[in-house]
Structure 1
C-alpha cells in the first residue's frame, strides 16, 4: 500500500497511475490536497483491516454541532443575564431613559417567504476571446477596480494591472488600466478611509498601494510567497495574508520595507479559504476547506460581542452550513450580506458549477442557480439596489463580469 502526505492510503499502483495522469494538477482523491510522486510512501503489511467510519464521523460532526450550539446559547444566556442586571440597576438609579447605542440585532422573520436568484447580464473584460486573467475586484461606491492582464504591448515588465470600470443598469464601461504587477492580482481593496487609495497584490509576491495608477508604497513579501488576501486596518496600515497562511501588517508611513507585525506567529492556518464581515450586525462568516470538523467545504457564522465596560471582545459561533462540495481548486470570495434585518450567504459550488444561497436564520429554503460558463469564478460581491428586498450579486470570472438578481418574497412557493 501507499500513503500521501495528507495521510490517506491507497493501492500503490492506483495512486501512482492517478498522480501521473493528473500531472501538475494532481490532488489526493479523498481530501483534494495537492499530491506528487515525491509524497508517496510505500507501506508493507501482512494483513489490512478496513473499517467504514462514515456513520461515526457523521455522529461526531452532529455532536460537535450540538456542543457549539449549546456554547452559543450559554453565552447568549449570560449576556441576557448581564443586560437584565444592568436594566434593574438603571431602573433603581432612575436612569432608565438614558439613550443606549447598540448594534441592530439580526431579526428572525416569523412569517414565511423564499429567496430567488435570476441571471441578468454578462460583460466581457477583454476584447474578443482574450483572457483577462481576472482574480480580484473591489468597489468604492463609484468605481470598480479589477485585477486584469493589461493588453498594451509596452507593458512588457508589468503585463498585469488594475482595470477601472463603472457598472450601471445600462452598460459596463471600461476605463483606465494601470500596469502595476508582473503576475496576476489576487487582492484588490480600496481604502475605506480614502477611496482613491488602492491596495493590490498577487502572484508576483508584491503588494502595492497606489493612487490613480501612481505607486505610493510597495513591499516584497517574506519568503517569496504570493499575496492571497488583504485589508485596511487604519488609514496608514494594511494587513496581508500570504500563500503559506501567514498574516503580516505593514505601515505606509514607515521607511522600512519589513512588516511591523505578524499575526500568525510564524505558523500558517491554511484551512480558511474565505472570511466575510457584515458591519451592520457585527457578524462574520468563515469558509473552511474539506477536512477537520467536516469532510466537505463548510461555512460557519460567528458573532462579535463587545463588552462596553471592559472593551472585551468575544467571538461566538451561532450557526453552520455544511455542504457536500469537495472541490476548492482556487480561493474565491463568497458573499455575506444583510437584507430585511436577516443575514444571507451566496457561495459558489465548484462541484456542481452553481451558486447556492443560504438564509442563516433557517426560515427560507436554500436556492441554487447554474453558472452559465466554465470559467473560473474569482470573486462574488453583493451590491445594494433601490429596492429594499433585492441585491445585485456581481460575479467576477477570468474573462467577464456576470450579474445575478437576488431577492426575497413573502409568499412561500
Structure 2
C-alpha cells in the first residue's frame, strides 16, 4: 500500500516531507522527525500508525520494522549534498595512485633485474677470461695432455678398445640434498644444461631450475619458476633464443628466458600438465600433454590460451611423453608430426597443414618413456613390467609410411612402425624414468640405447649394432632422466637421480 497525498499536488520541498502523508515534519510535537533502523525518515505519528496497521514493514523498503525501532531525530533542517562528482573524482584519484604504485614497483623490479644482469655479465666475462687462459695453457702443452688422457682412460676402463670406445665417469654433481629433482634440458647454443629442483629457501618456496655450464660442468644459478613439481622442460631444437618451455603440476605452462632469468610468458591450464615439446618445423607452436590425456597446441603469438586440442577421444590416461617428429622429404619416413605417449598407448598425429591425422602405433604395454631420433627416424619406447611382460622392455622401432590414396597424385599416408629390436632389463620399475636413443659417438649408422635400471641403481647402455648390453654404469640412485651432450668435440652422457647428476664422458 502506497499512501497518496490529498489533492494530488507535488510538495514544494520533497526533502522536508513525510513520505506517508506528504506533509512537512516538525521539530516538535506528534509529527516530529523520526527514523527506522533501515534509515528512512518519517513523521513520528505517521510511522507509528503505519506500523500498527501495515504488518510491521518499512513503507519505503519493505524491511521488517517494529514500533520499538522508531527513533526520534533532533534536527532543525535536513539537506542532502550531491557528492557524486566528488566521489567519482576520489575514485579516479585512488586508481591513479594505484597505477603509480604499480609503475614504481615495476620500475624497481626492472632496475633490480638490470643490476642482476650486469652482475651476471661481469661474472661471465671473468669466467670467459679464465677459460681462455686455461685453453691457452692446454694448447701450449698438447703432448702432455694426450699422455695424461691416455693414462686416465686405461686406469678407468682397462677393457676399453680404441676402435669402439665407451663411457667413463667424469663428474658427480650434487644438485639438491633434499631430493625431488626430476627432469633436464640442454641448450647447445648456450652450452647450458638445466635441471629441475625444489627451491633451497623456505622463504621463497617453489620449484625451478639450476643452470650448469657444459664447458666445465659447474653449477651457476637457481631460478624459481613454478609453485609445484615441474614435470617436463624443453628447449627449441632449432631456435637459439634461450627460451625454456616448462610445465608443472601447478596448472601452468611457462616460457622462461635462461639468459635474463625471467619468466616471459605464462599460460594457465585447467588440469596439471605432464609433458611438453616444441614444434621443430614451426618455431611459433608448442604442445602440452595433460593429465586427462588431451594434448593442447599453443601459438606463442596468442598469449592467452591454446589454439587447438588433440587426442580428445579414447583413452584418458595421462600423456607421459611428447616427441615432435620433424618432416624430412629426403627420408623414407618423410612425415612430420607429434608422437603422443600415454601410459597405455602411443599415437602419431601427422601434421598436414593446419590439420592433424591420427595414427595408432602397434606397440603395447605400460609406457614410461619415448624418444625419437630424427637422423635415423627411429623411435625408442620403454615399458614398465606388467602381467604380460615380466621385465622392463626397451623397444627400438623404425617409423614407416605408405601412400594409401587411389590417386597417385594425392598423398594419403598411413603411418606405423616396425619393432626392430627389444632390449630387456630388470623386473622392477616404479618411477617414470626417461630413456634415450642416440647415435653412436664413433661408429656411423649405429645407435646406443641408454636407460636407467632401477633395481641396481645403474645406467645400462645397449649397442644396437651388436644387439647386446655394452655397459653398466653406477649412478648411486634411480635414474630419472638422461641427456646426451656434445660440446668441445666431446660426447657426454648426463644421468639424473633425485639428488645428484652423474656425467659420463665418451673415451
Calculate the TM-score normalised by the size of structure 1. 0.61
1:148 matches 2:148: no
State how far apart, in whole Å, the 1-side matches of 2:371 and 2:479 are: 17
CA positional deviation for 1:134: 1.7
Partner of 1:160: 207
State how far apart, in whole Å, the 1-side matches of 2:381 and 2:498 are: 24
- Superposed CA RMSD: 2.8
The correspondence of residues 280-359 of structure 1 with structure 2, limited to 5 A, is: 280-291=375-386, 294-305=389-400, 310=411, 312=413, 314-339=415-440, 340-359=444-463
State how far apart, in whole Å, the 2-side matches of 1:403 and 1:235 are: 30
State how far apart, in whole Å, the 2-side matches of 1:123 and 1:256 are: 38
Relative to structure 1, is the Cα distance of residues 305 and 336 closer, same or farther in structure 2, using a 3 angstrom cutoff? same
Asked if structure 1 preserves the Cα contact closer than 8 Å seen for 2:172 and 2:500, the reply is yes
Q: Which moved more, 1:253-262 or 1:349-358?
A: 253-262
| Helix, strand or coil at the partner of 1:377 | coil
| Helix, strand or coil at the partner of 1:186 | strand
Relative to structure 1, is the Cα distance of residues 316 and 328 closer, same or farther in structure 2, using a 3 angstrom cutoff? same
State how far apart, in whole Å, the 2-side matches of 1:148 and 1:194 are: 25
State how far apart, in whole Å, the 2-side matches of 1:253 and 1:263 are: 23
State how far apart, in whole Å, the 2-side matches of 1:143 and 1:391 are: 14
CA positional deviation for 1:379: 0.8
Flag structure 2 segments of 5+ consecutive residues without an equivalent. Answer: 1-162, 318-341, 344-365, 404-408
Which of 255, 265, 270 pairs up with 1:217? 265
Which of 301, 306, 309 pairs up with 1:261? 309
Greater C-alpha Rg: 2
Partner of 2:247: 201
Asked if structure 2 preserves the Cα contact closer than 8 Å seen for 1:354 and 1:368, the reply is no
State how far apart, in whole Å, the 2-side matches of 1:205 and 1:115 are: 44
Partner of 2:17: none
CA positional deviation for 1:259: 5.7
Larger RCO: 1 or 2 (CA < 8 Å, sep 6+): 1
1:139 matches 2:186: yes
Flag structure 1 segments of 5+ consecutive residues without an equivalent. Answer: 1-112, 408-413
Which of 172, 193, 204 pairs up with 1:122? 172
Asked if structure 2 preserves the Cα contact closer than 8 Å seen for 1:380 and 1:393, the reply is yes
CA positional deviation for 1:201: 1.5
Aligned residues: 283
State how far apart, in whole Å, the 1-side matches of 2:384 and 2:451 are: 13
Partner of 1:32: none
Asked if structure 1 preserves the Cα contact closer than 8 Å seen for 2:485 and 2:493, the reply is yes
Q: Which moved more, 1:310-319 or 1:202-211?
A: 310-319
The one-character-per-residue Cα deviations of 1:129-149 (angstroms, maximum 9, x if unpaired) are x32532111111021122122
